[in-house]
Chains A and B, each alone.
Chain A
C-alpha cells in the first residue's frame, strides 16, 4: 500500500527551480531516507508534502489525500518534527505531550493513557513533571519524536532529527524509529549522517532539485560500487552545481 505517491512535483520561486520534477512512492511501514546536500531542495519538498506550501506543478498524495486540495486532511494524518528543537521549554514534559495530543485531536479520554505510554517508552517516568528546558538535548529530541507520533499518524516526517546529538542517543533515537515503523507508521527522514542512511529501507538522493538515485542502501552500494553510503553520496553530490544555502 502506497502512503506517499508523488508525480512530477515541481516548485519554482521566480526563475529558481527548487524542486525539479520529482516522482517517487513510499510504502506503508517503510523507513524512507530522503538525502541531499544543503540546498538540494529537501526542505521545499517536505514543506509541499506537509501541506505548508503549494506545488507549482505536479501532484502528490499523502496518506490518501491530495496535498494541494486536501491539505487540512493531510495535516491531520501526519506527524512532523523539524531540525530545530521545537517543544515549549517552559512547559513540563507531560504538558507538552498533552498540548500536542489536544491539538491533534486525540480523544480526551485516551490522553492520560497516551501520556503514560509515551513516558514509559522513553523511560521518562521520573521526568514527568520536569520542565523541558531542564532536559539534555538528546532527551529533548527523543521527546520531540514521541510527540510527533502522539496521535498515531500514518506518516511521520523527520527533518534532520538527530542534528547535534551524541552517537549513543542517536542509536536510541533510531530504536524509537524502528519501534514506530513496526507499529505501521511510515517514516520519512532526512539526515546528514550517512551511517543513519544505512538504517533506512530505501533512500533517495536529491541533487540540484532532482532525485538522482532511489533504491535500498544495499543496491545503491552495488550500483555505484561503493563500500558504504557515504561514498555513494559523495559520488552523486559532487555533481551538484548549486551552492549550498
Chain B
C-alpha cells in the first residue's frame, strides 16, 4: 500500500473537497514521474538550455586566431603582441612576412584578425608621438568584426597609456570604452535571465495546457466532470505539479548560473524569488487559458510553442535588441510577460539594483497574472454550461 498510505490518517479527517484535491494531485505526480522521458526532459531541459546559450550559442568572442605583420620588430610591437596573446580573446597563430599574405590568410578562413604595424614603430612613438597600426577583420560577420576590433583597440590603448606614463610625458586622455555591468561582455549575463524567462514559461504554460488537453482527449475529463469533484479543483490540481517542477528548475538555473557560469546575484535574492513566483503564476494562468480554449494536446503544444516560445526568443530582448525593431514588433514585445520578467531579473541579478527598480515590472506582471487568471476561469465556466 504505497499509494497515498503515508497520509492515510490525515486524509480521514479532511473535508471531502480537500481529500479529492490531494488524491488528485498525487495522481498528477504519478503521470509525470511514470513517464521517464518527460521527467528527464523537464529536469534536464534548463541545464541543457543554459549550457547551449551560455557556451555554444554565444556572442562572446574567444580564442580568435590572430595573424601579425610586423616589419618593425622592435620593443613596442613585441610588447603589444605579447599583450594581445596574454589575453583570452586572441591566440597568435601566424607571423606574416609579406603584406600580400594578408588576403590569403583571410581566404583560408581560420584567421579572425590581422594586425599590421607600421615601419619603425617604436622610433615613431618616441620621436613624433605617432605610430601607425592597422586592424583588419573579416567584415562578412560585422558583429564579430566590431567586437574583435573593440577588444584589440582596448588592449592597444592600454599599452599606449603605459608608454606615455613610463616616459613621463604629461598625462593625456586615452579613449577607453568600458562596458558597464558586464565588463567582459559575457554572454551568460545576458542569457541567464532569458533562459529563466523561457524555461519557466515552457514548463508552466506548455506542460499544464498539454496535461489538461490530454484528459479531454482521452475522455477522462468527461468522467471527472460527471463526478462530484469541483471543476476548479480538477484544473488547480493540474497546475500544482508543474508549479513544483518550476521551483526545482528555478533552483537548478540559479545554482548553475552562480556556481558554474559565474553570474552573480548582485541584488536582492528575496525580490528575485518573489518576482519569479509571480512569473510562474502568470505562466500557469496562461497554460490554464490555453487549455480552456483547446481540446487536443497537439493544438495546445502548437499554441504554447508558437504563441509563447517564439516571441520570447525573438522579441523579449533576450537575443536581439528590441530597440532597433520596427514599431509593430516593439509593441508586441511590450505585451510579452517574459520581456518584463527578463528586464526585472537583469536589474536584480546583474545590475544589483533594489526593489525600487522593479516596481513597474512587478506591477505589470501581477496585473497580467490577474487578467489571464480571470479570463481563463471565465472561459472554463462557459465551456461547462
Contacts and interface: CB of A to CB of B under 8 A. Distances in A.
A99 B220 contact: no
B23 interface: yes
8 contacts: A52-B226, A84-B222, A85-B219, A87-B220, A90-B35, A91-B27, A99-B23, A102-B4
Interface stretch (B12-20, B143-151, B286-294): B12-20
Interface stretch (A29-37, A70-78, A176-184): A70-78
Interface string A100-117: 101111011100100000
A193 interface: no
- Helix, strand, loop or mixed for chain B's interface? helix
Contact of A108 (B11, B218, B224, B229): B11
Contact of B219 (A84, A100, A103): A84
A54 B22 CA distance: 30
Contacts of B220: 86-88
Nearest to A105: B16
B23 A103 contact: yes
Given A90-B35, A103-B20, A75 B227 contact: yes
A219 B170 CA distance: 120
Interface residues of A, number: 35
Contacts of B222: 52, 82, 84, 86
Contact of B229 (A86, A94, A103): A103
B109 interface: no
Interface band, chain B: 20 to 34
Contacts, number: 77
Given A75-B227, A109-B12, 9 more contacts: A54-B385, A75-B228, A80-B226, A86-B220, A88-B31, A98-B23, A99-B23, A103-B23, A108-B8
Contact of A102 (B19, B30, B219): B19
B27 A104 contact: no
Nearest to B230: A72
A236 B39 CA distance: 54
Interface in B355-385: 385
A19 interface: no
A215 interface: no
B34 A86 contact: no
A201 interface: no
A23 B74 CA distance: 108
A100 B24 CA distance: 9
A82 B223 contact: yes
Nearest to B23: A102
B1 interface: yes
A157 B226 CA distance: 10
A81 B219 CA distance: 10
B25 to A, nearest CB: 11
A98 B3 contact: yes
Contacts of B325: none
